[in-house]
Amino acid sequence: MTLRLTCILLLASIQVIAQPRLPKDYYYKKLANGLEVVVIENNKVPLATIEIAVKNGAYTEGPEYSGLSHLFEHMFFKANRDYPDQEKFLKRVQELGAIWNGTTGDERVNYFFTFDRDSLAAGLKFMNAAIRFPIYKKEDMLKERPVVDGEFQRGESDPQNQLWMAVGKKVWGDLFTRKNPIGEHDIINTATPEKMMIIKDKYYHPNNSLLVIAGDVKHDNAFALAESIYGDWPNSGFDPHEKFPIPEFKPLTATDYFVKESTIAQTPNLMYMWQGPDYRHDSAATMAADVFNTILGLNASKWQQALVDKGLTTYASVSYQTEKYVGPIVIYTLPNPNKLKECYEEIARQVKMWGNDDYITDDEIALAKQVMRRNDIRQKEKPSSLPSSLTYWWCSTSYEFGTDYIDNVMKVSRADIKNYIAKYITGKSYVAGMIINPEMNRSTGASMFFKPNF
């Protein structure tokens, strides 16, 4: 009896340890099939939001599948076992009074519906049919392929997107498709139902998915509904990311500058990109990056004063995207065409000073943290936005990283920021690109002076 009791207590303690640390009014349960379910109780409005996220996206795609996770997301809202054509699917959406959408990113594909709280059971069943029992009709794919490809073409008409693509191909090399959710023309336009099933069979399993139920709901009831509706979804029997491992991105070995001519670039665009930290190896640096970039975005920062206030550019952003597999650090500016060379030179001067002790002040560090805290509070005021934040953290970091994010941001020190800059920016290889129309390129001599200078 003593041994049996000890085993029971040990199992109970393991169960407690297995519970992730979540914010107040967040409740967690993992079903026997591996599906993780989080319920967020928030009764500000009599609505409920359900979201399913899958660890899928660009990072799972080699060249032969580039963009198909995105196409799969679009096909999610077509036919399935319970609603065998899109007309019936959309009719059911209207009956539920649902607001719905989906997104595809580098490391997450997510689908969500928001509706009246009384429709929770019906909404969960509706989501279940779409996620588990899709029907890929050739006629639906013929209709949807141009829609997805149209997003690609709209991107091609944007100078910033053209530049992002050109820079990204140099930064990520032969793994660029794993950072490009929109995909490639030819792959999208030749996609087949068979390829859709390959994606489904690889990644669309309960043990690779997170279901979030948020809003004016009770967690016990929500868990019971999730169990009854999703409990028989078969576990894949394998970890998709062990069976289909993500290749590591190769570090940049040299700095590269280029000028791309395009007639659609009415004004020049400049972009610089470094390979930054990732969650797996340096989660602390991801927060230092966020604080530093927030400081640079302050109107009174040296960065803004030197570039925007002096009229060298109308816009000068520095961003970092937290990812599990190497997040990019990006400078993006819209230079004054009459001061293009001066802008280019000033960017170099500023970046060289980023690691200096006096480049940022203690007051700026404190103010940036408060800006981040206020933004976090505002974001949480809308209950329907809470699932999306949670699923992003789950896919690219962890529950605890998201739960503790603001508290840990408040602990970021000047030394942390300096270490981040020294480790990922100062003296490190990067790619810099300019997109400019041919006439302006000739008149400014951009191709002659746009060369490595820091």
Of 296, 335, 350, nearest to 434 (Cα)? 335
With both helix axes pointing from N to C terminus, report the angle between 362-379 and 414-424 in degrees, rounded to the nearest 10: 90
Rounded to the nearest 10°, the torsion over CA 251, 253, 259, 261 is -50
Domain assignment present for 119? yes
Domain match, 439 and 319 both: yes
Domain match, 236 and 262 both: no
Domain assignment present for 406? yes
The token pair that represents 220 in the structure block: 């016990």
Grouping H, G, I as helix, E, B as strand and the rest as coil, residue 325 is coil
Tell me the pairing of strands 109-116 and 209-215.
unpaired
Domain assignment present for 1? no
In this prediction, residue 6 carries a pLDDT of 43
Domain match, 168 and 43 both: yes
The domain of 194 spans: 22-243
Domain match, 148 and 267 both: no
Q: How many domains does the chain have?
A: 2
Per-residue pLDDT in tens (0 to 9) along the chain, 454 residues? 444 444 444 444 444 447 999 999 999 999 999 999 999 999 999 999 999 999 999 999 999 999 999 988 888 888 899 999 889 999 999 999 999 999 999 999 999 999 999 999 999 999 999 999 999 888 888 887 787 777 767 777 899 999 999 999 999 999 999 999 998 888 888 889 899 999 999 999 999 999 999 999 999 999 999 999 999 999 999 999 999 999 999 999 999 999 999 999 999 999 999 999 999 999 999 999 999 999 999 999 999 999 999 999 999 999 999 999 999 999 999 999 999 999 999 999 999 999 999 999 999 999 999 999 999 999 999 999 999 999 999 999 999 999 999 999 999 999 999 999 999 999 999 999 999 999 999 999 999 999 999 9
Grouping H, G, I as helix, E, B as strand and the rest as coil, residue 347 is helix
In this prediction, residue 276 carries a pLDDT of 98
Measured over the CA atoms of residue 285, residue 288, residue 290 and residue 296, the dihedral's sign is negative
110/351 Cα distance (integer angstroms): 36
Report the CATH number at residue 438.
3.30.830.10
Which residues in 108-187 belong to E strands, given as ranges? 109-116
Asked whether 370 and 404 are in contact (CB, 8 A), the reply is: no
